[in-house]
């Protein structure tokens, strides 16, 4: 007798599986088989062919040592009568899965168990798909398997997890992790632990787009928590007047400020009427409102203004209106804002009759601000040399002009000495003054002039005056108008020291125009054999 136990939802149950019938039958069959084998002569057994043995086994399988033919002897087979080749026994109860009516030992027989191989006594099936929770890979049927699902039993296909706590929003009692459960939280997805709600609507401050219900969303509202429909912000500091403790940003809190929306940091109030100067319509209380008063802060009831500059006499520190106060102004009655005083005589240029103190009054001076007592003016324009930027009127200002007082538009400077040719006494810097130089712009210090044509060799295109210019002349310094060159060596006959190119120079050659290297002269007449025809 084998007792098999499991636990269900209503307590412990004992079940007995009686093996007495099958086991006794099996034992009895084995006994009879053994007896038959012992009593039967060997000759008879041998006579019985394999067919008979097979037939006998087929007719009486229970008598075989492996009744179910699964390769496991009956004595060790956990399912002796049902083939169970791998001997698997899921619940370890000694009965193989092939013959165990309840493989997971959960008290629910396999034919009705929604998890045949997983203990599931309550048969829980959250998503009603016929697979019990203990063996269902996706209990909430949201296409996310349980082993990675942040809400195993609640469908959450997008796996949203606002507070990143590992619990998805669908099954997280406090999605923003502020300590207030979502059902009571006025901002379920925004941390708002103190549940602040400025406007008393359904949404806490942390998630309310308009906390003061003034129709302007908090992101654009200059007073997010104070109703401020007009959005007035007098000081432009980004905080609206309704919630700004200092509306004019002058450092004085509004409760103590004598000008709420106009900066008045010193709280000046000369007439002591309780209104600061910045916002008082008549600061000096002289009966003339500030917008028409020519002395706003000094009583000037008659509005006297001697210089007509708009500032009354009572308060005008600058009679010529040049922004320089009279007590330091070098031209008190003539506007001279820069206080220019070219000659440093204490009188500003605007009121000084001779600004450069050169003895010529400015009205007649061709350089009023540059001493030019002789009134020199080389180019006869309206400006004297002392103040003329281009004295020679050649279009090149004196500072860059290599001949400031001589017209020199091309600025040519042949010797590169910084003096233009027009004003340079020696243009080629060869030590010969231009008046005596036979080559003005090319150095020719020895004044060589081979052909005596007044052009020095350095600048003469035809030094030997033979009609062949030097660049093509085969005798540059020897007159050779026909350019004869007997030996064609590039040197004309007139200047070639060896006309026949026989390596014997002409002055000792006994045949000047015929090669006669050996200088043979059989008759000793001074004429070489190769050219002696007598």
Kind plus residue range of the DSSP H or E element containing 3 = strand 2-8
The set of residues, in sequence order, having a beta carbon less than 8 Å from that of 421 and lying 6+ positions away, is 408, 412, 413, 414, 427, 441
pLDDT for 199 equals 74
Residue with tokens 């025809």: 533
CA distance 496 to 509: 13
Per-residue pLDDT at 451 exceeds 90: no
Lowest-confidence region among 206-210, 224-228, 265-269, 316-320? 206-210
Mean pLDDT score, 174-195: 80
Q: Return the pLDDT at 15.
A: 30
Q: Is residue 227 part of a domain?
A: no
What mean pLDDT do residues 466-490 have? 86
CA angle in degrees (0–180, nearest 5) for 155-157-160: 100
Is residue 290, in this structure, part of any structural domain at all? no
Please report whether residue 511 resides in a domain: yes
Residue 13 has pLDDT above 70, yes or no: no
Q: In this structure, what token pair is assigned to residue 47?
A: 């006579």
The DSSP secondary structure of 508-527, one letter per residue, reads G-SSSSS--TT---TT-SSS
**pLDDT tier for residue 117 given thresholds of 50, 70 and 90:** confident
pLDDT tens per residue, range 16-32:
233 333 333 333 333 33
List Cβ<8 Å contacts ≥24 apart for 295-302.
Answer: 297/270
The string of DSSP codes covering 18-34 is --HHHHHHHHHHHHHHH
Give the number of domains in the chain.
Answer: 1
Distance CA 112, CA 130 (A): 10
Answer whether residue 387 is part of any domain: no
* More confident site: 12 or 99: 99
**Residue 474 CA: distances (Å) to CA of 441, 488, 489, 494:** 26, 10, 10, 9
What's the half-sphere exposure (Cβ side, CA atoms, 13 Å) at 204? Answer: 17
Q: Is the pLDDT confidence value at 14 over 60? A: no
Residue 507 domain boundaries: 497-534
Q: For the residues 138-146, what does the mean pLDDT come to?
A: 83
Residue 204, domain member (yes or no): no
CA-CA distance, 105 to 92, in Å (whole number)?
9
Q: Higher-confidence residue: 279 or 13?
A: 279
Most confident of 240-244, 281-285, 335-339: 335-339
**Residues in Cβ contact with 355 at an 8 Å cutoff, skipping those fewer than 6 apart:** 342, 343, 349, 362, 368, 369
For position 279, what pLDDT does the model report?
86
Residue labelled with tokens 């349980």? 146
Whether the per-residue pLDDT at 257 is higher than 60: the answer is yes
Higher pLDDT, 64 or 485: 485
Phi, psi angles (nearest 5°) of residue 3: -100, 130
Q: State how far the Cα of 325 lies from the Cα of 514, in Å rounded to an integer.
A: 107
Q: Which of 382, 372, 370, 377 is closest to 392 using CA atoms?
A: 377
Give residue for tokens 């229970």.
62
Average pLDDT over residues 198-227: 80
First to last CA, the chain: 167
In the structure, what pLDDT confidence band is assigned to residue 364 with cuts at 50, 70 and 90?
Answer: very high
pLDDT confidence of residue 79: 92
Burial classification of residue 447, based on how many CB atoms lie within 10 Å of its CB (0-12 exposed, 13-18 middle, 19 or more buried)? middle
Minimal CA–CA distance to 324: which of 313, 315, 335, 314? 335
Residue 386 has pLDDT above 90, yes or no: no
Q: pLDDT-derived band of residue 45, with 50, 70 and 90 as boundaries?
A: very low
Please indicate, yes or no, if residue 505 is contained in any of the structural domains. Answer: yes
Q: What percent of the chain has pLDDT over 90?
A: 11
Closest CA to 372 of 473, 364, 84, 19: 364
Distances (CA, A) of 504 to 165, 496, 511: 115, 12, 9
Instruction: Write the CB contacts of 224 (distance below 8 Å, at least 6 apart in sequence).
Output: 211, 212, 218
Mean residue pLDDT of the chain comes to 79
pLDDT at 64: 56
CB neighbour list of residue 152: distance below 8 Å, 6 or more residues apart: 139, 140, 146
In a domain, 368, yes or no: no
Q: Please give the Cα distance from 107 to 342 (Å, whole number).
A: 120
- 425 lies in a domain? no
Q: The whole model's pTM is what?
A: 0.26
Q: How many percent of the chain have pLDDT more than 70?
A: 88
Under DSSP, the state recorded for 388 is -
pLDDT of 390 above 90:
no
Would you say residue 51 has pLDDT above 90? Answer: no
């Amino acid at each position: 007798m084998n007792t098999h136990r499991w636990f269900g939802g209503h307590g412990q149950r004992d079940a007995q599986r009686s093996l007495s019938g099958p086991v006794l039958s099996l034992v009895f069959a084995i006994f009879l088989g053994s007896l038959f084998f012992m009593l039967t002569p060997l000759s008879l057994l041998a006579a019985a062919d394999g067919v008979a043995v097979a037939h006998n086994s087929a007719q009486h399988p229970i008598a075989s040592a492996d009744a179910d033919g699964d390769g496991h002897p009956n004595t060790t087979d956990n399912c002796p009568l049902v083939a169970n080749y791998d001997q698997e026994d899921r619940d370890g109860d000694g009965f193989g899965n092939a013959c165990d009516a309840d493989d997971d030992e959960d008290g629910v027989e396999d034919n009705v168990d929604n998890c045949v191989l997983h203990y599931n006594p309550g048969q829980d099936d959250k998503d009603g798909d016929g697979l019990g929770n203990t063996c269902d890979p996706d209990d909430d049927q949201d296409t996310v398997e349980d082993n990675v699902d942040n809400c195993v039993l609640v469908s959450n296909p997008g796996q949203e997890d606002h507070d990143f706590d590992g619990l998805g929003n669908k099954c997280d009692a406090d999605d923003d992790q502020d300590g207030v459960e979502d059902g009571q939280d006025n901002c379920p997805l925004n941390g708002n632990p103190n549940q602040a709600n400025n406007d008393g609507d359904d949404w806490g401050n942390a998630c309310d787009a308009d906390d003061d219900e003034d129709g302007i969303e908090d992101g654009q509202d200059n007073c997010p928590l104070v109703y401020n429909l007009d959005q007035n912000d007098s000081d432009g500091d980004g905080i609206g007047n309704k919630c700004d403790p200092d509306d004019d940003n002058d450092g004085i809190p509004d409760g103590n400020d004598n000008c709420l929306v106009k900066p008045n940091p010193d709280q000046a109030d000369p007439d002591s009427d309780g209104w600061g100067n910045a916002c008082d319509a008549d600061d000096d209380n002289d009966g003339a409102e500030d917008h028409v008063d020519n002395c706003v802060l000094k009583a000037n009831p008659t509005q006297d203004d001697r210089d007509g500059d708009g500032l009354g006499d009572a308060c005008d520190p600058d009679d010529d209106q040049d922004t320089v106060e009279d007590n330091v102004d070098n031209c008190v009655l003539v506007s001279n804002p820069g206080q220019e005083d070219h000659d440093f005589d204490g009188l500003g240029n605007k009121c000084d009759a001779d600004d450069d103190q050169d003895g010529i009054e400015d009205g007649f001076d061709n350089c009023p601000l540059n001493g030019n007592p002789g009134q020199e003016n080389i180019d006869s324009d309206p400006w004297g040399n002392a103040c003329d930027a281009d004295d020679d009127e050649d279009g090149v200002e004196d500072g860059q002009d290599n001949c400031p007082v001589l017209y020199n538009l091309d600025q040519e400077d042949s010797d590169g000495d910084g003096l233009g040719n027009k004003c340079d006494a020696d243009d080629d810097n060869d030590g010969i003054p231009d008046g005596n130089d036979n080559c003005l712009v090319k150095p020719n210090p020895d004044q060589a002039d081979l052909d005596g044509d007044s052009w020095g060799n350095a600048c003469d295109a035809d030094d030997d005056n033979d009609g062949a210019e030097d660049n093509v002349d085969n005798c540059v310094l020897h007159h050779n108008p026909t350019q004869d060159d007997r030996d064609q060596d590039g040197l004309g006959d007139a200047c070639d020291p060896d006309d026949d190119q026989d390596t014997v120079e002409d002055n000792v050659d006994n045949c000047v125009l015929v090669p006669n290297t050996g200088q043979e002269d059989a008759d000793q007449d001074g004429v070489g054999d190769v050219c002696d025809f007598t």
